[in-house]
Amino acid sequence: MPVFYGLEITSRLMLGTAQYPSPAILAEAFKRSKAGVATVSVRREAGHDRAGQDFWSLIQKLGVTVLPNTAGCHSVREAITTAQMARELFETDWIKLEVIGHADTLQPDPFALVEAAKNLNQEGFKVFPYCTDDLVVCEKLLTAGCRVLMPWGAPIGSGLGLNNPYALRSIRAHFPDVPLVVDAGLGLPSQAAQVMEMGYDAVLLNTAVAKAGDPAIMAEAFAKAVDAGALAHKADPMLPRDMAAPSTPILGKAFL
């Protein structure tokens, strides 16, 4: 199972907690999937708002590791302030760092992301940076002190799957000892399996489960796909080849 900042997680599936039809369905999705991590957005009113307190109580009952995030932040200062609030509210140094640079694609701002990551690492946070599938950005984030990388598969909520498998394979090959999580863009369990077949440590998703006709069943489907992909990677799968190869040996074949 994946180990993030010295903590072993019980599952390779990480789930978001937004957009579910009801708290009961959210809880059932986590139960059916056995997800090991729940990402939670920081709401500025959560400290005094009753609805926010009820939501936090629900998350605590899930019995999973909580990963607060800085979703919706568009600047370094905003992301750092939100992370500081998250540490106080959720009593954890873990933070999924998002610094959005483009309003339409929700693509992270690479420059602001690296700057915010450096500051938060210096403050003792354990940063999980949401980034694009760019090797240079990933290298800069590691230099800034991050010990986990979370490249996207595709834009948040798009369900497009893996827009650039080559880039994701390159990141895995360049950083063989760094825990890697594909975050965002997955729409189908088969896409999650593909991620794990590449040797990634986990996947993080939200919309594909929360917006499914039956979120609980979809969460379970993703969990099984993640396990299948991880098992396939462990088995050392055959590489694609350009020509056919007979599965039945020619030796011993009858000649007429």
- The per-residue pLDDT for range 218-255, each reduced to its tens digit, is 999 999 999 999 999 999 988 888 888 777 766 666 66
8 Å CB contact between 203 and 181: yes
Helices then strands, counting H and E runs in the chain, come out as 9, 10
pLDDT > 60? residue 47: no
Is the pLDDT score of 53 beyond 50? yes
Dihedral sign for Cα atoms in the order 19, 24, 25, 27: positive
- The whole-model pTM stands at 0.88
Q: What is the per-residue pLDDT for 184?
A: 92
List Cβ neighbours of 193 (8 Å cut-off, separation of 6 or more). 225, 226, 228, 229, 232
Contact (Cβ atoms closer than 8 angstroms) between residue 185 and residue 159: yes
Sequential DSSP letters for 32-76 = HHT-SEEEEE--TTTTT-HHHHHHHHHHHHTTSEEEEE-TT--SH
Q: Is the pLDDT of residue 49 over 70?
A: no
Q: Is 31 a catalytic residue?
A: no
Compute and round to an integer the Cα radius of gyration of the chain: 20
Q: Which of 113-127, 174-188, 209-223, 236-250 has the lowest mean pLDDT?
A: 236-250
**pLDDT value of residue 227:** 96
Single out the catalytic residue among 31, 96, 118, 234: 96
Nearest to residue 138, comparing CAs of 181, 102, 82, 187? 181
Average pLDDT over residues 148-156: 95
Tell me how far CA of residue 1 lies from CA of 13, 118, 184, 235, in angstroms: 10, 27, 20, 16
SS3 194: helix
Compute the distance between CA of residue 228 and CA of residue 85 in angstroms, rounded to an integer: 38
Token representation of residue 38: 């729940």
Closest CA relative to residue 195, chosen from 156, 214, 222, 157: 222
Mean pLDDT value of segment 34-38: 94
pLDDT score at 105 = 86
Average pLDDT over residues 10-27: 94
Averaged pLDDT for residues 162-179: 96
Does residue 203 contact residue 14 with C-beta atoms inside 8 Å?
yes
Average pLDDT taken over every residue of the chain: 91
